[in-house]
Amino acid sequence: MRSAVADATGTELPPDPAVENIDVRTLAPLIAGPEAAILAEARSVVDWHARHRFCAQCGTPSVVAAGGWTRHCPACKAHHFPRVDPVVIMLAVRGESALLGRGRRRPGARFSCLAGFMEPGETLEDAVRREVREESGIRCGRVRYLASQPWPFPSTLMMGFLAEALSEEITVDPEELVEARWFDREEIRDMVARAAAGDPDPATTIPSLPGPVAIAHQICRRWASGLDSV
């Protein structure tokens, strides 16, 4: 059964048997970078309209303006703009080992970099240190920015880092992670190669990484191959 599809105003569109709905996560790896960026932009803006149909200042239904880049309140005249939520995602490294975690929603033995939303008043570096400490108990020192990636689920901006781990003993926060482990550089190189070759069987017990479309994959790839260091 096809799920309902709505436009940017929230209006449900009639079903079209000639059109197949494809999830953005499935489609993004199959298209070129510039087109994927447009897709991410559209996905974020459509979701923002669906979630912000009422004025945050007075509660009046707002209207779409500026070609969809603004919502305008006819009552209090406030203007509302699409939001971006900053997220730090980091690989904590100590010598020849790096820390990866596995969340409850990840299939099989899928590991990834630790990540979390920034809090008000934080620097990016402080957010990296706090998230690693909260999720794994590992203390971090130096932090190095690498790259960023928009992730439209629904509107996050992933900012990638390497972090210098100052401790080794892991204490997992069970609310955040099922498991966290140290992997050596060769293990992560193997995980990168397997992920680049295609999605693993969800039932496998062999540790795996997200595919190349994810910034976590690229952070791991660059560190494991010696291209980046703290």
Q: Give the pLDDT band (50/70/90) at residue 1.
A: very low
pLDDT at 64: 96
Tell me, yes or no, whether 230 lies in a domain: no
- Residues 106 and 217 grouped into a single domain: yes
Q: What would the pLDDT profile of 75-100 be if each residue is shown by its tens digit?
A: 999 999 999 999 999 999 999 999 99
Q: What would the pLDDT profile of 10-52 be if each residue is shown by its tens digit?
A: 566 677 777 666 666 666 666 777 887 888 888 899 999 999 9
Q: What would the pLDDT profile of 115-158 be if each residue is shown by its tens digit?
A: 999 999 999 999 999 999 999 999 999 999 999 999 988 899 99
The residue segments making up the domain with residue 31 are 5-80
The β-bridge relationship of strands 97-102 and 85-94 is: antiparallel
Tell me, yes or no, whether 229 lies in a domain: no
- Residues 123 and 195 grouped into a single domain: yes
Helices (H), 19-78: 24-27, 33-51
- Residues 200 and 121 grouped into a single domain: yes
pLDDT at 153: 84
Portion of the chain with pLDDT greater than 90, in percent: 73
- Residues 102 and 167 grouped into a single domain: yes
* pTM, 2 dp: 0.85
- Residues 72 and 102 grouped into a single domain: no
In this structure, the number of other CB atoms found within 10 A of the CB of residue 31 comes to 12
Name the domain count of the chain.
Answer: 2
- Residues 128 and 30 grouped into a single domain: no
Q: What would the pLDDT profile of 203-223 be if each residue is shown by its tens digit?
A: 678 999 999 989 999 999 999
Instruction: Please state the φ and ψ torsions of residue 225, each to the nearest 5 degrees.
Output: -90, 0
- Residues 43 and 95 grouped into a single domain: no
Q: Which of 80, 110, 129 is the last residue of a domain?
A: 80
Q: What would the pLDDT profile of 154-201 be if each residue is shown by its tens digit?
A: 899 999 999 999 999 999 999 999 999 999 999 999 999 999 998 777
14, burial (CB in 10 Å: exposed 0-12, middle 13-18, buried 19+): exposed
- Residues 150 and 123 grouped into a single domain: yes
- The CATH number assigned to the domain holding 183 equals 3.90.79.10
- Residues 54 and 124 grouped into a single domain: no
